[in-house]
Amino acid sequence: MLTLYTALKFIVYAPEKERHIYYFFAFFVLMTVLSLITRAIYWVVHPDQTLFSGNNIHSLHFYFDLLGQVGTNALFIMIYSKDAEARLSKAMEELHETAIRDKLTRLHNRIKIDEILTHERERSIRYSHPLSVMIVDIDLFKNVNDKFGHLVGDLVLQKTASQIARSIRAVDSAGRWGGEEFVIILPETSSEDALILGRKILHSVPVNSGVDCMPEGVTVSLGVAQLEESDKINDLLRKADTALYSAKKKGRNRLEIFKQSIKNNEPAPSS
């Protein structure tokens, strides 16, 4: 019954693309069941004879058994192979996730952010679509570590990263850039439009810091820059970092947008 159940299950739940293969092997399994049934019937009809007596019925049983055993073995090998393949695929996915994720925050790591930024820059230039980058920095984070310890500091990083992940759109990418800094890549977004996300993060991070010993929470400063056609990746990041520095200099807990001064070609961040 178990063999029959297994065969019927694979017939019903066979994947669409591989259904013919499952049907083929299920046929062989059914041969085993049919062999057992014919043996039982023969034994009922001829109780005075053994199941193996008679050349014809013996030959029939032999071929049914042969087909059944081959099919059953092949089916279970295929099942095991599929299971092993699925486990290997899952392990590879987990390994890939480990390679591209920051262990503490589960955001993208710097390697993955570099890869995404390279792709988005090329796409932005090719199609003349806007691309902005936002750098988020936790204010006075060193004081958090010094006053409350590194475990609390790690919790602050996790909570801030979680809030950033909840705030961005599906098309955006966020990653930990290093220390207490995070980078957000904003495709199809001008620096002015990035203000919407920036304000959202500014208002949500202090409330959702989630650290019991820090009821006042933490604040963040943000710097935003929009890609120019002549910009390399480092140029774009440098501009965003310049805007971030301006936000820090003006009192923290604010957002600054990088603007290029036409008069003297000097960076002129503006809020």
Residues forming the active site: 180
End-to-end CA distance of the chain: 74
Backbone angles phi, psi at 108, to 5 degrees: -60, 145
Cα 248 from Cα 223, distance rounded (Å): 9
